[in-house]
Amino acid sequence: MSTESARLLTLAGTAPGLDPAARAGHLDHPPRMGFFTDTSVCIGCKACEVACKEWNAVPENGLLLTGMSYDNSVGLGASTWRHVAFIEQIGRPGEAPALPSSAAGGQAADGSRWLMSSDVCKHCTEAACLDVCPTGALMRTEFGTVVVQQDVCNGCGYCVSACPFGVIERREEDGRAWKCTLCYDRLGAGLEPACAKACPTESIQFGPVDELRVRAQQRVSELRDAGVAGARLYGEDPGDGVGGAGAFFLLLDEPEVYGLPPDPVVTTRDLPRMWRHVATAGAALALGALAACLGGGRPRP
Amino acid sequence: MVPKASFDSYYGRPVLKEPAWASPEVPGYLFLGGLAGASSVLAGFAQLSGNRELSRAAKAGAAAAIGLSMLALVDDLGRPARFMNMLRVLKVTSPMSVGSWLLAAYGPAAGAAAASAVTGRLPAGGAAATAGAAALGTGVATYTAALLSDTAVPAWHEGHREMPYVFAGSAATAAGGLGMLAVSPAHAGQAVRFAVLGAATELTAKSVLLRRLGAAAEPYQQGLAGRLMESGEVLTAAGLAGAVLAGRSRAAAAVSGAALMAASALTRFGVFEAGRASARDPKYTVEPQRERLRSGAAPVA
């Protein structure tokens, strides 16, 4: 990216390839913590959804029967901070059946499989929500996570439109913006987030991001060697459009199949150009008024 | 029937969240803020040229517009009582933060300029306030383009190069229209010229924007947004024709002026609805990103 963008992001407290907690001003901070969600072992039990709601006292937000396989929480939002997606892929001709173990997504002989994935806030290295927040409610914690300070947020809703993953949302009756906190209160006490603790298959793995990345790379190689060609990491690459995510995934298909954007880019990268055009347009407005007013304002006879 | 989970989307669900901002408050503010800022710029130069009638009308209009704007903005917050949190920090990565500070300085300046002009008191102070409002007005009329563009909303973000010129042009059109409506034709010549320059800029910038977007211009051309944008263009043309042909007729000039103001408002509402539509349909997010990955282009255009 351009050096101007890098400079602007440095001012913001986030920057690519750098330690986001340090850039935000945390001296002597603990290692960056995050999630590696290995969807190849997810069994769709939704313990993560339940544990998250219980620990964080997230309100009930709809008792629906959507018809979207077993997904009745529909998507991440102000009152859904872990969302389990279900995709039934019936009969994929031409696919070589993978290992019969559930580790490979349990493909049937005709290639059918049922993808399950627990989605969550990505806690981006370059977090658009944080960049655009005008009150400073959204902040970077010492763990490198992104958290909304609920006593500051005035519900302007800017973060909602800035997030390239469609995660953060304004809660209707409450008015403020809410999202996953990566159980900031639990981290401070040396505990793991509620969803990671509840996950029975260790699909949700919690730990230092560096360690998780090593584990994830090993796991994806393992799956590819076993013939699961679609296995890939999502959000793991620090060179991606959000500088890599603190919460990244192992997916078995294209991101858009799961409702994820294929190549999200933090909007802030284009902001220097936007400000330049704003300045030019403002100058043009002034010049236009000057030109319009030349020739004096004395009344025509 | 729930659409099948296809390989392009997750049950047809949006990837992004729809903007939390409400209509008519926010597009109404885009119009009023632009009208106010451009009117202050016009007022400044009109005053310099000795056109007291026009400058007084423009100042009064700017003050009224910005007053209404503040009500709309505070009302749109999820927690309106916390509106002062906008001035808690200044973040250049947040156009809303920059805008809040701009408005905090511009509002009082515009109010003071109008008060002085209308009452005739403290002319020196009034002149200083007029100059200040004119300078800040260039920012007030254009920063909202960065506000919309600095999001993940495809129709807004992809238009980020041209949007400031569309908004500046639209603001000048509205300010010129207000001048034509408020003062006699003998004094409105400068307002007419300002409106003509504004309309030409707006139409040109809009056409460049749509051409650059290519297939992604669809949200601006279909549905409610398409109808609003087209109506805006029709009224702009009608208002311009009326402005040029009105001659001495006060009534014709007033109708033309009102048409130009309505045209500016319709454009803002059209842009706003186009953004909403582009966030709602996952294809506007997924397809360009998928295409970018396929072609191996760098994410920052």
Q: HEC states along A107-173?
A: CCCCCCEEEEEEEECCCECCCHHHHHCCCCCEEECCCCCEEECCCCCCCCCHHHHHCCCCCCEECCC
- Please determine, for residue A103, whether its predicted confidence score (pLDDT) is greater than 70: no
CB contact under 8 A, B95 and A299: no
pLDDT tens digits, B27-75 = 999 999 999 999 999 999 999 999 999 999 999 999 999 999 999 999 9
> What span, in angstroms and rounded, lies between the C-alpha atoms of A190 and B18?
36
B13 at interface of A, judged by CB pairs closer than 8 A:
yes
B198 at interface of A, judged by CB pairs closer than 8 A:
yes
> What span, in angstroms and rounded, lies between the C-alpha atoms of B160 and B212?
11
Residues from chain A contacting residue B57 (CB–CB below 8 Å)? none
- Measure in Å the smallest separation between the Cα of B111 and chain A Cα atoms: 20
Reply yes or no on domain A3-269 having CATH 3.30.420.40: no
B32 is a domain residue: yes
Give the contacts of A220 (CB within 8 A, at least 6 positions apart): A231, A232, A233, A250
Residues from chain A contacting residue B285 (CB–CB below 8 Å)? 261
Instruction: Tell me which residue in A156, A263, A267 faces B151 most closely, judged by beta carbons.
Output: A267
Instruction: Tell me which residue in A169, A285, A293 faces B138 most closely, judged by beta carbons.
Output: A285
Instruction: Tell me which residue in B44, B79, B197 faces A175 most closely, judged by beta carbons.
Output: B79
B49 at interface of A, judged by CB pairs closer than 8 A:
yes
Most distant CA pair in chain B, distance: 70
pLDDT tens digits, B94-126 = 999 999 999 999 999 999 999 999 999 999 999
> What span, in angstroms and rounded, lies between the C-alpha atoms of B266 and B233?
9
Interface A:B, Cβ pairs < 8 A: 297
pLDDT number for residue A11: 53
pLDDT tens digits, A250-300 = 999 999 999 999 999 999 999 999 999 999 999 999 999 999 999 765 555
Give the contacts of B243 (CB within 8 A, at least 6 positions apart): B176, B180, B192, B195, B196, B253, B256, B257, B260
Res. A100 pLDDT band, cuts 50 70 90: very low
Question: Has this prediction a pTM greater than 0.95?
Answer: no
Residues from chain A contacting residue B44 (CB–CB below 8 Å)? 289
- Measure in Å the smallest separation between the Cα of B122 and chain A Cα atoms: 23
CB contact under 8 A, A292 and B187: no
- Measure in Å the smallest separation between the Cα of B230 and chain A Cα atoms: 23
B193 is a domain residue: yes
B209 at interface of A, judged by CB pairs closer than 8 A:
no
- Distance separating the N- and C-terminal Cα atoms of chain A: 59
Q: How far is CA B243 from the centre of its chain?
A: 21
Q: Which residue of A has its CA nearest to B248?
A: A300
pLDDT number for residue B244: 86
Instruction: Tell me which residue in A136, A162, A165 faces B88 most closely, judged by beta carbons.
Output: A136
Q: Which residue of A has its CA nearest to B76?
A: A156
B7 is a domain residue: no
Give the contacts of B264 (CB within 8 A, at least 6 positions apart): B31, B34, B35, B170, B171, B173, B174, B177, B232
- Please determine, for residue A31, whether its predicted confidence score (pLDDT) is greater than 70: yes
Return the DSSP state at B150.
Answer: S
CB contact under 8 A, A268 and B82: no
CB contact under 8 A, A292 and B42: yes
Task: Please tell me whether residue B196 adopts helix, strand or coil conformation.
Answer: helix
- Measure in Å the smallest separation between the Cα of A191 and chain B Cα atoms: 31
Task: Please tell me whether residue A232 adopts helix, strand or coil conformation.
Answer: strand
Burial of A261 (0-12, 13-18, 19+ CB in 10 A): buried
pLDDT tens digits, A146-160 = 999 999 999 999 999
Give the contacts of A266 (CB within 8 A, at least 6 positions apart): A124, A126, A127, A128, A131, A164, A241, A242, A243
> What span, in angstroms and rounded, lies between the C-alpha atoms of B195 and B174?
7
In this structure, of A43-47, A89-93, A131-135, A180-184, the range with the lowest mean pLDDT score is: A89-93
Nearest CA-CA partner of A199 in A52, A34, A75, A100: A52
pLDDT tens digits, A116-128 = 999 999 999 999 9
Res. B215 pLDDT band, cuts 50 70 90: confident
> What span, in angstroms and rounded, lies between the C-alpha atoms of B64 and B68?
6
Helix axes B123-149, A271-293, angle to 10 degrees: 140
Percentage above 90 pLDDT, chain A: 82
Instruction: Tell me which residue in A163, A257, A263 faces B289 most closely, judged by beta carbons.
Output: A263
B285 at interface of A, judged by CB pairs closer than 8 A:
yes
- Distance separating the N- and C-terminal Cα atoms of chain B: 39
Instruction: Tell me which residue in A8, A166, A257 faces B17 most closely, judged by beta carbons.
Output: A166
User: Count of domains in chain B?
Assistant: 1
Instruction: Tell me which residue in A67, A271, A295 faces B2 most closely, judged by beta carbons.
Output: A67
- Measure in Å the smallest separation between the Cα of B223 and chain A Cα atoms: 21
Burial of A26 (0-12, 13-18, 19+ CB in 10 A): middle
Task: Return the structure tokens found at A74.
Answer: 């529909």
What is chain B's mean pLDDT, rounded?
95
Average pLDDT over residues A39-63: 96
- Please determine, for residue B189, whether its predicted confidence score (pLDDT) is greater than 90: yes
Residues from chain A contacting residue B189 (CB–CB below 8 Å)? 295, 297, 300
**CATH number, domain containing residue B202:** 1.20.1630.10
- Measure in Å the smallest separation between the Cα of A232 and chain B Cα atoms: 15
CB contact under 8 A, A258 and B152: no
For residues A17 and A133, which has the higher predicted lDDT (pLDDT)? A133
> What span, in angstroms and rounded, lies between the C-alpha atoms of B229 and B221?
8
Helices (H), chain B: 25-48, 52-76, 95-119, 123-149, 154-157, 163-182, 189-213, 218-221, 223-245, 250-280, 283-295
- Measure in Å the smallest separation between the Cα of B88 and chain A Cα atoms: 6
Q: Which residue of B has its CA nearest to A264?
A: B289
pLDDT number for residue A91: 78
pLDDT number for residue A96: 47
pLDDT tens digits, B226-281 = 999 999 999 999 999 998 887 789 999 999 999 999 999 999 999 999 999 999 99
Give the contacts of B290 (CB within 8 A, at least 6 positions apart): A256, A262, A263
User: Residue A208 is inside which H or E element, if any?
Assistant: strand A204-208
The Cβ of residue A106 has, within 10 Å, a number of other Cβ atoms equal to 17
Instruction: Tell me which residue in A258, A271, A277 faces B164 most closely, judged by beta carbons.
Output: A277
- Please determine, for residue A13, whether its predicted confidence score (pLDDT) is greater than 90: no
- Please determine, for residue A3, whether its predicted confidence score (pLDDT) is greater than 70: no
CB contact under 8 A, B157 and A270: yes
Instruction: Tell me which residue in B37, B91, B151 faces A134 most closely, judged by beta carbons.
Output: B91
Bridge partners of A206?
A35
Nearest CA-CA partner of B83 in B91, B72, B68: B72
- Measure in Å the smallest separation between the Cα of A277 and chain B Cα atoms: 6
Average pLDDT over residues B10-29: 97
What is chain A's mean pLDDT, rounded?
90
Task: Report the residue count for chain A.
Answer: 301
Res. B148 pLDDT band, cuts 50 70 90: very high
CB contact under 8 A, B299 and A132: no
Q: Kindly provide the ipTM of the predicted complex, given to two decimals.
A: 0.95
pLDDT number for residue A198: 98
Task: Return the structure tokens found at B44.
Answer: 């400044």
Q: Which residue of A has its CA nearest to B21?
A: A157
B226 at interface of A, judged by CB pairs closer than 8 A:
no
